[in-house]
Amino acid sequence: MAKLSKLVAISMGVASLACAPFVYAEQRNLSLSERLDMIERANDARGRSQVELAQQVDYLQTEISQLRGISEEHNYKLSQILERQRELYQELDKLAQLAQQMSELKSQAPTSSSSQLPLITDNKVVNPVQAGAASYAENLDENQAYDKAVNLVLKDKLYDKAIPEFRAFITQFPNSIYQPNAHYWLGQLLFTKGEFADAEKSFETVVEQYPNSNKRADAIFKLAMVAQKQGDKTKAKAKYEQVISQYPDSTSAKLAAGRLNDL
């Protein structure tokens, strides 16, 4: 009997729990106006969320555009660096050829001042001429001083130490046949260091004082590059056009034509 009473009590409790949700639902019945208010609030919240989402999308699109611009700028700078590196390698190759030619000549050249010596350019040895008009300096100290400066660039890769050596050579041997090359290479080294004002002076010396130098076309091209680095696009354009006009078949003219398109 006691067990039956407990079973009945448990059944009634379960029934009451089952009915509870319906009672709670009845107590939570809302009027039509209250439901409309609830719907309006939900719509307002949804609208605000959509506005915030749109703002976030706009912000992300702006960031993407900025990052894309930065990436394009970096790619452009990288292409400039690679182009500059290629030009420098070309110049170093020329100097290496010149240094080898000079070394061979010094080991073969007789001491007599009436002997014939080959005429040296940056890239080749041409037919011999009389020693008095030779392009290889007869002054041993002059040759050694120039060789020392060149070797600091080619062999030792000590570019910072080569700068004072070229400057000392220019001062010590003002009438040397190597003067235009010394000024040009001093300008190259200064340009590489970012000392554009001093580099410009060296290149201008080659252009103005050595009109027959085979470095003049390169020097004009480098003056255009200096102007471009300094943000003077008008001057850069004029110099690029000058080298194309005066030396149309030169390598510098071809490089200048390509750079004109980037201005």
CB count within 10 Å of CB 247 equals 19
What digits encode the pLDDT tens for the residues 157-208? Answer: 899 999 999 999 999 999 999 999 999 999 999 999 999 999 999 999 999 9
Domains detected in the chain: 95-109+137-260 (1.25.40.10)
**Percent of the chain's residues with pLDDT above 90:** 40
pLDDT of residue 106: 52
Q: What is the mean pLDDT of residues 55-77?
A: 76
pLDDT of residue 213: 93
The chain-wide mean pLDDT, for the chain, equals: 75
> Are 121 and 135 a contacting pair, CB within 8 Å?
yes
CB count within 10 Å of CB 258 equals 10
Most confident region among 22-36, 60-74, 184-198 by mean pLDDT: 184-198
What digits encode the pLDDT tens for the residues 120-141? Answer: 333 333 333 333 333 445 566 8
pLDDT of residue 2: 47
pLDDT of residue 194: 93
Lowest mean pLDDT among 9-23, 90-104, 232-246: 9-23
What digits encode the pLDDT tens for the residues 80-93? Answer: 677 766 667 667 66
Q: What are phi and psi of 249, to 5 degrees?
A: -95, 5
The better pLDDT of the pair 88, 17 is held by 88
- Strands (E) located in 43-162: 116-120, 125-130
* Nearest-5° Cα angle at 222, 226 to 71: 60
> Are 183 and 217 a contacting pair, CB within 8 Å?
no
- Strands (E) located in the chain: 116-120, 125-130
pLDDT of residue 43: 78
Most confident region among 14-23, 65-74, 176-185 by mean pLDDT: 176-185
Q: What is the mean pLDDT of residues 211-222?
A: 94
